[in-house]
Structure 1
Amino acid sequence: MDAKITELTLDRAPDAVALCRRALDLPEDAAEADALVDALWIRAGAGRTVVALGTYVGDELVGVLIGSISAQDPRLGHVDLLVVEPDRRRRGAGRALVAEAERRLARLGAAEVLLAGNPPWYAWPGIDVRYTPAVCLALALGYRQDRTAWNMTADLSYDGSPALRTTEPAERRLAGQGVVVRAAEPKDLPALAAFARSTFGGAWDGELAGSVGRDGAGCHLAERDGEILGFAAWGSSRPSWFGPMGTAPAAEGSGIGGVLLRRCLRDQRAAGVDAAQIGWVGPVPFYSGSAGARIERVFFLYRRTL
């Protein structure tokens, strides 16, 4: 029976999650399939234009692609998720899904398509190098690698982990300087979003909205006299991922960042996470020193002009 590509409707979300669990080869990705589908399709659809496609053989869903238009630059389209039933790979299913997504994204105004994360809702920064068939597909379709990104892993599986060491002495020292460190509440979100936009730009305000006040997610902040000095969040797109975090330039070197980081990591451990992924890392030495984190996942980011 011939395969057919059509729009993926929300009533097939459970089937999409089940397919991701079967088709995502890395266990840490398969385990969070429900969170990925929710973040990239359902929650992202409230904030940007999403293209959701399914490949069907009869009524069986054998392939899924979720793409989107960048909220920052409408000329950029993204492929956010692509999975194909394992026993149907190497038959052109992935190629056909990407081609259809490109056509639809172009009709929406995209001039380029990126195989890269589209913050604030993204599953990965790009293609994990261990997903070798996906790398081969990108190259076969004419995509060019333009960047490399990496995640770091913080081990939360045992009590003596550097990622879980106490922050109490540092918090007492900060309190002596008038700095309060606490869990963020929904009422803090407008001030946090404004701080993130004005200090760092980008889409971190959207990621904060996905962390503050949600089950399976959280955020901590530091403030002095009502002025936010820094924040750290986790769980926006998936429970095991930490980030974003940021400290005001004037507060750098104060130790606020390490405190906020480890408070979040303790939350993640309490939520049942054994290994936190620090996503799309910039300051590798900071995370290594503050939490004993190590570089583990490496991603290639690709793009193609339509």
Structure 2
Amino acid sequence: MKDMLVRLTDLPDISQEERHLAEENIIFRRPIAPEKSIVCQWVGKEFGNYWESETDVAFSFQPVHCFIAQKGNEILGFACYEVTAKNFFGPTGTKEGWRGKGIGKVLLVKSLLALREMGYAYAIIGGIGPIDFYKNTVNAVTIEGSEISIYQNLIRINHE
């Protein structure tokens, strides 16, 4: 999988999507320390051990380098940034059954805005899967020659 690059000065306005989702009682926020195990376990259950480990690292920063989408007491999605490498976005995911509603877009842009607030002009989306989503949502471009990434020597276990 390749990496992508996104310019942080041209991010889309997500206020309309966020208002629309708020009408469905979906809110977006950073989790706090008492929720660490709940959020990390949810990520592990929904997306696997690797992403759970990266999410755990997000809680070592203040503010937490993660956003969640929630409805009531249910987590619907998450997005982390700068957990595996400086200036990297990810991992991120939306719970099956809730995809296609704009949750991923809001989580992505909120995370990229946080990176911009940290002083970055560009961000790297590492080891991307849905190229078109990132291209269409934030005008991300593929980084040529990035097939060999920081994940290349990742210890692999059979069930991941």
Q: TM (normalized to structure 2)?
A: 0.86
Of the three residues 215, 218, 221, the one matched with 2:68 is 221
Offset at residue 243 of structure 1 (A): 0.4
Q: What percentage of residue pairs aligned between the two structures are identical?
A: 29
Which has the larger share of strand?
1
CA gap of 1:217–1:268, structure 2 versus 1, over 3 A, is farther
Q: Does 1:152 find its partner at 2:7?
A: no
- Which residue of 1 is the match for residue 122 of structure 2? 275
- Give the distance between the partners of 1:216 and 1:151, measured in 2 at CA: 26
CA RMSD of aligned residues (A): 1.9
Contact 2:67 2:107 in 1 (8 A): yes
- Give the distance between the partners of 1:245 and 1:208, measured in 2 at CA: 9
The structure number with the bigger radius of gyration is 1
Letter aligned with residue 151 of structure 1: D
Which blocks of at least 5 consecutive residues in structure 2 are unaligned? 155-160
- Which residue of 2 is the match for residue 299 of structure 1? 147
Q: Does 1:236 find its partner at 2:73?
A: no
- Give the distance between the partners of 1:296 and 1:165, measured in 2 at CA: 21
Equivalenced residues, count: 150
Alignment map for 1:1-306 (pairs within 5 Å): 149-156=1-8, 158=9, 161=10, 164-215=11-62, 218-297=65-144, 298-300=146-148, 301=152
Letter aligned with residue 154 of structure 1: V
- Give the distance between the partners of 2:85 and 2:62, measured in 1 at CA: 11
Which blocks of at least 5 consecutive residues in structure 1 are unaligned? 1-148
- Equivalent residue of 1:251, what SS? coil
CA gap of 1:299–1:165, structure 2 versus 1, over 3 A, is same
Contact 1:210 1:235 in 2 (8 A): no
- Give the distance between the partners of 1:285 and 1:213, measured in 2 at CA: 31
Large movers: runs of 4+ above 3 Å: 300-303
- Which residue of 2 is the match for residue 110 of structure 1? none
Contact 2:12 2:137 in 1 (8 A): no
Offset at residue 236 of structure 1 (A): 0.6
Letter aligned with residue 155 of structure 1: R
